[in-house]
Structures are given as structure tokens and as C-alpha cells.
Structure 1
């Protein structure tokens, strides 16, 4: 197993009146799914992906409803 370079340090008794929490992470060990999420779900690309996904979902539901309604209300 590889050693992890992730550490959390909490320092409450500092000279300042605020508590401090520092998190150290290694950028070399970022998972593939996290990179894909960051790329596709944030920023301008994220907005475009959500708009395109919403349109696909809308038209899918619309077509399913249209076909279902056609067969339900079809005159015999």
C-alpha cells in the first residue's frame, strides 16, 4: 500500500482568537472520477453539460409521453 500524503491539522490554541484547520492533500493522487467531475460539472462546460442534459431529458420524456398517448387514445 502506498503512503498517503493527506493530513488534517487542527490548531485551537493559537495566539489569534480564531480556530485554524489546515488540510494538506497531494494533487498527484486525485482520482480519475474527481478530475472528470471537476471538468464536466463546473464552470462554463458544466453549465453547457447541464443544459444539454436537460434538453435530452425533456425530449425523451416528451417522446415517451407522445407515443404512450397515441396508443392509449387511438381510435379503433
Structure 2
């Protein structure tokens, strides 16, 4: 039933030496920084810290602006 002639196709299994599992070394530096800072628990923490800093800056700007707008004239 099986053909042993030249028309048969031979599939080689992959050698473990040919498989590159080191994905991080093949990525660019910016992608490694992005993956470390923006994905996962670290990314969530950095976003939360960024939002908190932005809210504090907006609060300080509003406080200073309100102080100078509403102070009593001399």
C-alpha cells in the first residue's frame, strides 16, 4: 500500500537545537520597556500612579488659581 519510491514525502522532526525560545533577546529595547512598564501588574501600578500624580497637579493648579482669583483687593 505504501509507496517507497521517489515520490514519497519525508518530514523531518524539528531538532531541539533549532528552536529559539529566547523571545526577549529578539525584541527591541523599546518593546522590552513597553512590555515591562505597560503590561501586567506593573503596568496597572504605573498607570494608577500616573493618574494620581495628574490629579494632584490639577488640584494644585486649581488651588493656586483660586487663591489669586478670589483674594481680597487691598
TM-score scaled to structure 2, two decimals? Answer: 0.62
Q: Which has the higher strand share?
A: 1
Q: Which has the higher helix share?
A: 2
Give the aligned length: 51
Unaligned 5+ segments in structure 1 are: 1-25
Alpha-carbon distance in structure 2 between the residues aligned to 1:50 and 1:43: 11
Alpha-carbon distance in structure 2 between the residues aligned to 1:34 and 1:73: 48
| Higher relative contact order (CA closer than 8 Å, sequence separation 6+) | 1
Structure of larger gyration radius:
2
Unaligned 5+ segments in structure 2 are: 1-22
